[in-house]
Every structure is written in C-alpha cells, then in structure tokens.
Amino acid sequence: MMAGLLSTQYKSTLSKLKLLRNNPALSVLTSTQRKYSSKDGAGIEYLHRSVVPTMHYQKSLPRLPVPKLEDTIQRYLAAQRPLLNEEQYSNTEKVAQDFQSGVGKQLHEELVTLDKKNKHTSYISAPWFDMYLSARESVVLNFNPFMSFNPDPKPEYNDQLVRATNMVCSAMRFMKTLSAGLLEPEVFHLNPAKSDTDSFKRLIRWVPPSISWFGAYMVNAYPLDMSQYFRLFNSTRIPKYKRDELLTGDKGRHLLIIRRGNLYVFDVLDRDGNLIKSAEVQAHLKYILSDPTQAPSFPLGVLTSENRDTWAGLRQKLLDAGNGDALHLVDTALFCLCLDEEVMRDHIHISHNMLHGDGCNRWYDKSFSIILAKDGQAAINFEHSWGDGVAVLRFQNEVFKDTTEKPVVGPGSQPAAVDSSSAVCRIEFKLNEELKAGITKAKENFQAAVSKLTIDAMEFKKGGKEQLKKKKLSPDAIAQLAFQMGFLRQYGQMVATYESCSTAAFKHGRTETIRPATIHTKRCAEAFVEQPGQHTVEQLQGLLNECSKYHGQLTKEAAMGQGFDRHLFAMRYMANSKGMALPSFYQDPAYAAINHNILSTSTLTSPAVSLGGFAPVVPDGFGVGYGVHDEWIGCNVSSYPARNVHEFLKCVHKSLEDIFTVLDGKPIH
C-alpha cells in the first residue's frame, strides 16, 4: 500500500522538476538548489558533518519505471517525424506498429518481469554498464569528457604547486567525509526554505531509511541516487578482451601523480587512515615538480588511449614481464593527478589539453584525473563507464568551494622539512621490445586520432537566461533550437540530435535522452532560416513558444524515465542476450539514423566550472557543450574533418541573434 502511494504521488509531483540533466554525464542542477553545508567545527579531516547520513535516502529511492510500450512507440515515431520524408515515415510507422503488437510486446513483457525480480536496481543499469565496458574503441575522444575548474578568485593561489596541494587536500577531505557517511546527501530542493533547513534535517534523520525518501518528498525535496559515488576513489577500468572490468578497492592510501610521462606515488593517508599534513603533501609535490628525470621514451600512460583489446593484450604482456606490482600501484591509487608542463594560451588550448592532452601525461582509465597546467588551470577528465557525472560534478563543486574558501596552503606556505625522496616512489616498468613497439604504435594511433579533432567556442553576449525567462521561454529549449537552426542554415537539413538527461531521481538511474529535433523546431527553424520575410514577428514569437513548451514536456518526460531511447535499448539488449534474431524494427534504416547522433549536446552551469567538453560521437557529428548563463550563452563545440565547426558556430550565433531580435519585437531579414 505504502509503495503504491509512494509511486503514484512521486510520479504526480516529479513533473515539477525542471532540469535534471548531465553531459554524457553532467548534471545542471544549479547551486542555489543544492546547498552543501560547511559547518564550523568540521575539523581538518572533513568538509562538513551532515546531520543526515550520506546514504540515508538510498534504500527508499523510487525505482526507475519501465515505460508503457505504446508510449515508447508513440514517442519514437514523434521523434522520427521531422527526420523522415513521407515514404520513409510511412514505412517506419508500419515497422514500429508491427513491433508493438508482435515481438516487441513479448520483449517488453519479459523486461517488466525481469525488472520485478531485481528490485534492488534499475532495468537499465546492467545493460548500460555492459554497453560501456564492452565498447572496444579508445576511451579518449569516444567516451571520457572533461570539466575545467574556474580559476581561483585569488590569482596568487593559481600557482601550480599551491593549487595542486590545495586540491589534493580538499579531494581527500571529500573522500573522508564521504566514507564516514558525513557528506550531505544529494538532494534536489524545489522549496529550499522548507527542506534545506537544520530543523528538517534533524527530523528526517530519525525517519527509517526504508521510508525516508517519502519524508523528503512531503516537503518537495527529491533525494538523488548516490550509488555511483563509491567508484570515485581507488577505482580504475581494467582492459580485458571483449569486455573490460571495473576495479574498486578501499585499501589504497596513495595518490598517483604523472609528470612528463613519469608515474609517481606517495601516501596521502597514514596507517590509521588520517590525512598527512598539508605541508607534507606540498613538500612531496614540490619534490616531484623539481625532479630532473627526463620524459621516458616509452611512456606507459599512452597505452590507456589504445583500442581496448589491443591494450588488454599489452597489459597481459606487462604482467608477464614482471610489472604486476607496478600496475597494482596505479590501479589502486586514490585518484590520478596530472601535472602538465604547458601554460594554457586560451579556452581552445584548455579544451584540447583537458580532453586529450599529449597522451603521455595521462592514465585515462582511472575513474577521474585532476589535471593541473603550469599556470594553475585545472580540470577533471573522467572515465565514463562507472558513472554519469553527477558524482563527479558534486566532487568538483565541493573541491572548488573548499580550495577557494578554506585553502590549506598559500603562496607564503613553506613545505614541510621531510625526506620526500624516501616518501615518493617513481614507478619503474620493465619493458621488452614487444612492449616498446606497442607503446610506439599507441603514440602514433593517438596522434592520428587527436590531429583530426577541431574545437571552437562561441559566446553570445546579447541575451541569456534572464531575458528568456521574462518571456516565459525555456532557456534550454532556445539554446537547442539555435543548434537546430544553425545546422539547417549550414547544411539545409534536420538531423538526429541527442541531449542527455539524468534519471538520478531513481534508484540506479543513469540517463535518458531528450530528442530536441522535433516537428516544432523544424517548423520554427524553417520559418526563421528559409522564410524570414513570410512571417510576422508575432507568428515567429508563437513558433518560439511552441518549441519551448514541447521541449519542456520532453525534458520532464525524460527526467521521469519516460523517454523512449533507454526502453528500446533495453529490449534490444534482451533480444541479443537471448540469442534471438534481431527484430526487423532494429534493422530499419530510420532506427540506425536516429541513433547516429550528428548533434550530441550536453549542458552545464556550475560556480566551479568554466567549461566542459567532449568529442563528437560519430565521425560526421558535432560535440556541443553549452551553458545558458544569466546574460549570455556559451558553446564549446568539437568536430572532425567531415564538419566545419567554425561555420557551425557562426550559424548558431546568427540564429541566436535572430531569436533575440524577434523577442525584442523586431522583424528579421
């Protein structure tokens, strides 16, 4: 009875959620809705001491719903409509209806039965892990995204050694706070005045975990899934033939540092699990930064950029050559800190460096790496299989807040007088000719891949979130419309578009896809781009309104687990795992086309983050990272040679100019 009530009330209220979105894992819940307390007296070991235990809500989180099959097919056909001509659509509609009444019905029923047997998780969790871990392409460009930190507001704290020391210490405070269960639970507050208060927290902590979610729901607060957090630390992806494995432990007390392609470790926790003194961290990092050892001719890190089967074979050869202990040190390290030699020139240089770098000063398989350039520019690059960025963004926000508000060292701080030469270990690898040849080949493959990538950025300064909200338009809908208009202006067509939306409001939720190319954006884009003189300003404003309303509906559906992409994916996965012949629905060229996402988009706004980015997901695509700020809109876009990213951004800028001109009540020409 209680479960039914939870489910019904949850679904009726969750539609109030505006945006629960993330980059191929990045969440955009704003800082005003997610306040993390940093109370005095938290002590040197912890960021804060949450009144409510970190995992208090986890047990009672609602389960990710399996959508109704008829709803999924209807949503799928609606998404296909703007991408197909009449004949293609007619054929796809028939194939979809046959699937719904035939083999699709059977697969759906089996999926629902399986889901009911596995109430501890979600129906998408295992297939989604499998998709990532079975992929054989390099994780570089294909999967790992980056999010760069804003500079420290105090310029003198952006010194590489100072900032590295502060970030390591804050990262360890985060880890300690998390493992002690003292990290504030991740909660989306619709009414912070009621739910984000000390009195509510003191009350809810006594509500049993089995029903605690319902208590939060009563005050319009939505706890989010935190099941991925344990993979942040001491975690790495291990290459294996056909399917990789995730290794996570809790025994490692050491940090992995890479500089000039050399790998170092030192303990940041003592034998009792306490943080070593910040002055000691500073001394050890200073020792590494001043180490005269030259860059190795055969840097091991570049192997993590290889095809996964190739890397699996070379890793086995490394083990056979007696490098087991060395690899174990890398795999079990708390996280990776990359100290780069370069000074960043501009945003484009930052994007290239943080997304892929030179291939040698990275270990791309670690759950995350903090990268610090010579000038203190910092970013996180993370491996994507274990999580979708919600945990990474929370970590980044906390580390930025802690390092800027409570830095443990400053420009005048003196490193401890300790013997770093005995505390710091430079990892030595035994390499034979076969391994050297493998590293040389990996370097060549890496260079060939990244040399094809172009990144460009754009800032539109004539309006942003504030202006759009005054007009009662969704800022995200308008940004997405500008991409549709931009692509139409450049290439004369509408194409498959992907926008990631987090389903972290559910137990073991991952992501769902918002499909921003709609019949409304097609109608609106054609009116603005192809027939600007044929519509009045009022008509164009009406079209903008329609786009905004429909995009808002799609966003709410996706956040509630009511998109179509994951449901169709799970049924296909089920058919495949049963050894069934692939149903004709999945062989329809239109299904392949809508999953060939030429525009892959993800949005992020956070006080800690200056920009984020990722590569296109298909060779003829764009990777669009964007943020809609109060007074301006920014895009950070990547492409391969098949597309012209510079021209695309000009077309997007022109589209935004036209939209804001119309919103000002003026005609466009």
pLDDT of residue 96: 98
Are the C-beta atoms of 480 and 521 separated by less than 8 Å? yes
Partners of 604 in the β-ladder: none
Give the C-alpha separation, 572 to 128, whole Å: 12
Q: Which of 258, 229, 208, 257 lies closest to 267 in space, CA to CA?
A: 257
Q: Which of 608, 602, 659 lies closest to 636 in space, CA to CA?
A: 602
pLDDT average per 10 residues of sequence, the chain (669 residues): 34 38 34 39 80 95 97 98 97 97 96 96 95 96 96 96 98 96 93 90 93 92 94 97 94 95 97 93 97 96 98 98 96 97 95 97 98 97 91 96 96 93 96 98 97 97 95 97 98 96 95 97 96 91 97 96 97 94 96 97 90 95 96 96 98 97 91
DSSP 386: T
Give the C-alpha separation, 610 to 152, whole Å: 11
Structure tokens at 651: 């077309």
Q: What is the CA radius of gyration of the chain?
A: 25
Give the C-alpha separation, 645 to 668, whole Å: 25
Q: Which of 627, 623, 594, 632 lies closest to 610 in space, CA to CA?
A: 627
Give the C-alpha separation, 347 to 25, whole Å: 21
Give the C-alpha separation, 549 to 538, whole Å: 17
Length of the chain: 669
Q: Which of 356, 397, 355, 404 lies closest to 376 in space, CA to CA?
A: 404
pLDDT of residue 389: 81
Domains and CATH numbers, the chain: 69-133+454-664 (3.30.559.10), 142-183+230-451 (3.30.559.70)
Distances (CA, A) of 257 to 174, 335, 340, 442, 650: 19, 9, 11, 21, 40
Structure tokens at 274: 């306490």
Q: Which of 545, 490, 553 lies closest to 516 in space, CA to CA?
A: 553
How far apart are the two ends of the chain, measured CA to CA in Å? 60
The neighbour count for residue 633, using CB atoms within 10 Å, is 25
> Mind telling me the catalytic residues?
384
Structure tokens at 391: 């945990």
Q: What are phi and psi of 33, to 5 degrees?
A: -95, -10
Partners of 457 in the β-ladder: 636
Distances (CA, A) of 418 to 258, 285, 423, 522, 654: 21, 12, 9, 66, 59
DSSP 177: H
Q: What are phi and psi of 233, to 5 degrees?
A: -115, 155
Are the C-beta atoms of 424 and 284 separated by less than 8 Å? yes
Q: Which of 509, 511, 485 lies closest to 498 in space, CA to CA?
A: 511
Cα torsion 330, 331, 336, 340 to 10°: value is 40
Count H helices, E strands: the chain?
24, 18
pLDDT of residue 616: 97
Q: What are phi and psi of 256, to 5 degrees?
A: -100, 125
Strand, coil or helix: 627? strand
Strand, coil or helix: 258? strand
pLDDT of residue 202: 93
pLDDT of residue 43: 64
pLDDT of residue 18: 36
Give the C-alpha separation, 394 to 392, whole Å: 5
